[in-house]
Amino acid sequence: MSLGLQDLKQRLSLLEYLQRHSWKARPIGAHEEFVGLCPLHPESHPSFYVNTTKNVFYCHGCGRGGDLIRFVQLYLKLSFQETIAHLNNELGLSAPKEDAVLRETAGFYERQLDSHNEAWDYLHSRGLQDPRLIRQLGIGYAPGGTLRRHLTSMGYPFERLLELGLIDQRGHDAFYRRIIFPCVDGARLSNLYGRSINNAAPHRFLPRPKGGLFAWSSVGASPEVILVEGLFDLAVLWQAGFVNTTCAFGTHLTQVQFLQLADNPNRKVFITFDSDPNGAGQSAARSLAQRLRSVGLKAHIVDLPEGQDPNSYFVSGMLMSSDFDKRLARAQSL
């Protein structure tokens, strides 16, 4: 699935696109207009203006102007259709052919969940109780040893599954005794996350991009957004009613994820990373807050007791959402 014209323009403003392509500009007036050297013609005196309210540009040097699509057409000399494809690619939202097989895999794992008590025990140990939420998030279980037969019987070639990293050379499942979360945004499924329920390496993704922020098309509509590291953090927060929580699958945001977070200058972001004993989560939170503030957003860091992440915080008995509410309020006042 690729985004249409209006969605593209919403996801990526003209100014963000220009800045990603190293355009240097200075703001004029109340930050609604920017001026810099024209990327479309050689010049030494800045005559290229961008109006961020209208999301359009005009160059007094070469007389050209228009919106993001028009700019990309001129800049990269692309047709309209090529421009749409290019922008979808830039956003990491191009239509992947493997979407269908990933979806089939996620569905298969979801159906396995019911018949495996060890998976339910694990979910309960991580504070996940609500069957409706578990269904809503599409959470599944990979018992191991069963995926290849299922997918090849549906006509997917062995080589394809290997290429996607769903199985290894010997045909064994890549996900084995793991809770599976589909990394989704609306109708798009970009990856699968597998959390080991035993001693194996805890976190595993398929060898492909993790995609944008989790469920961004719904979460991003909220003026206040909570950002967490992991899907178990997100799950307990959603369960407690904080459905304006999204997740970047780690503390390091990809360019696409950062642009999503920054695409509304009036957004407030509450960064709730792990409170690591070595300070890694806190320092990642501080540098992200700084980056977000530098593009004009309000970014607050939510403090958790040392050694806790949002998941363990809720599991440890702080099940009242009012406790977390207080932490959000305190973050905002700092």
Q: Which residues of the shown chain bind Zn ion in the complex (CB under 5 A)? A: 38, 40-41, 59, 61-62
DSSP 222: S
CA angle 121, 168, 152 (to 5 degrees): 85
Tell me the closest approach of the beta carbon of residue 224 to Zn ion, in angstroms: 40
Q: Choose between 59 and 84: whose C-beta lies nearer to Zn ion.
A: 59
End-to-end CA distance of the chain: 41
Tell me the closest approach of the beta carbon of residue 277 to Zn ion, in angstroms: 54
DSSP letters spanning 241-289 = T-TTEEE-SSSS--HHHHHHHTS-TT-EEEEE----TTSHHHHHHHHHH
Q: Give CA–CA dist 154/202, Å, rounded.
A: 30
Tell me the closest approach of the beta carbon of residue 49 to Zn ion, in angstroms: 10
**Which residue has tokens 């191991």?**
144
Tell me the closest approach of the beta carbon of residue 20 to Zn ion, in angstroms: 19
Q: Count Cα neighbours of 195 within 13 Å in the Cβ-side half-sphere.
A: 17
Tell me the closest approach of the beta carbon of residue 70 to Zn ion, in angstroms: 13
Judged by phi (left if over 0) then psi (alpha if -120 to 50, else beta), residue 83 lies in alpha
Q: Choose between 35 and 40: whose C-beta lies nearer to Zn ion.
A: 40
CA angle 26, 30, 35 (to 5 degrees): 25
Q: Choose between 61 and 66: whose C-beta lies nearer to Zn ion.
A: 61
